[in-house]
Structure 1
Amino acid sequence: MDTDRVPAHPDLRTITLQQVLEAVVEPVRRSILIQLRDSPADIKCGAFDLPVSKSTATHHFRILREAGLIRQYYAGTSRMNALRHAETDEAFPGLLDAIVAAERRATRS
């Protein structure tokens, strides 16, 4: 991991529920969370299936990172994304699972 280029990540103990909920209100950001949740490995930014431009996707990744929901780091030239599931679950028990389950129910309807 190239630590010189790793963006700042907040301590989840400093994140409020309001910040998390504001981050996940956007459908593209929920899609990112679900894709990370379903992936057996971290995902590079360009590998997500998103209906937005690269610059808009970058904005969504930043919002999720600043809300403490994802961790980003570089592997070579690729910016990788990891879901901070265990940390989020410690701060907000069951919240990510509930968000993912609700989104899946909504997309089935």
Structure 2
Amino acid sequence: MRTLEHPEPETLRLETVLAALADPVRLRIVRQLAGGHEDQACIAFELPVTKSTSTHHFRVLRESGVITQHYRGTAILSNLRAQVLNERFPGLLDAVLRADAQA
């Protein structure tokens, strides 16, 4: 079974998470995950970038610890690590999403 690497919660760094969330495309992905259901396939996102660039954005979010991804068949499904982020950086995710909604 194929697996993807994810950082452990205690290794998440604030500057890495903030850098991942600073990009408008990645923030759009996070916003959709926050407002949707779990296990969203990459194809469920309408992004204004090519497939390879989209793959890059998902990888940055995963490697920074913002999302988890796993394979189901040939599809890669994504989940927002809201609980992990809230435990590690209380209020950060809510503040970022509120600020984005007001922009």
Aligned counterpart, 2:100: 103
Q: 2:75 aligns with which of 63, 74, 78?
A: 78
Superposed displacement of residue 12, structure 1: 2.0
**1:22 corresponds to which letter in structure 2?**
A
Number of corresponding residues: 103
Aligned counterpart, 2:41: 44
Deviating runs (4+, > 6 A) in structure 1? none
**1:64 corresponds to which letter in structure 2?**
L
Aligned counterpart, 2:25: 28
SS of equivalent to 2:102: helix
Matches of 1:62 and 1:46 in 2, distance apart?
15
Matches of 2:61 and 2:10 in 1, distance apart?
15
Instruction: Report sequence identity in percent.
Output: 49
Give the alignment's Cα RMSD to 1 decimal. 0.8
Deviates more, 1:55-64 or 1:4-13: 4-13
Aligned counterpart, 2:85: 88
Aligned counterpart, 1:56: 53
Matches of 1:57 and 1:44 in 2, distance apart?
12
Give the unaligned 5+ runs of structure 1: none
SS of equivalent to 1:98: helix
Deviates more, 1:41-50 or 1:61-70: 41-50
Matches of 2:21 and 2:38 in 1, distance apart?
21
1:36-66: CA deviation from partner (whole Å, max 9, x where unpaired): 0010232101110211111000000010001
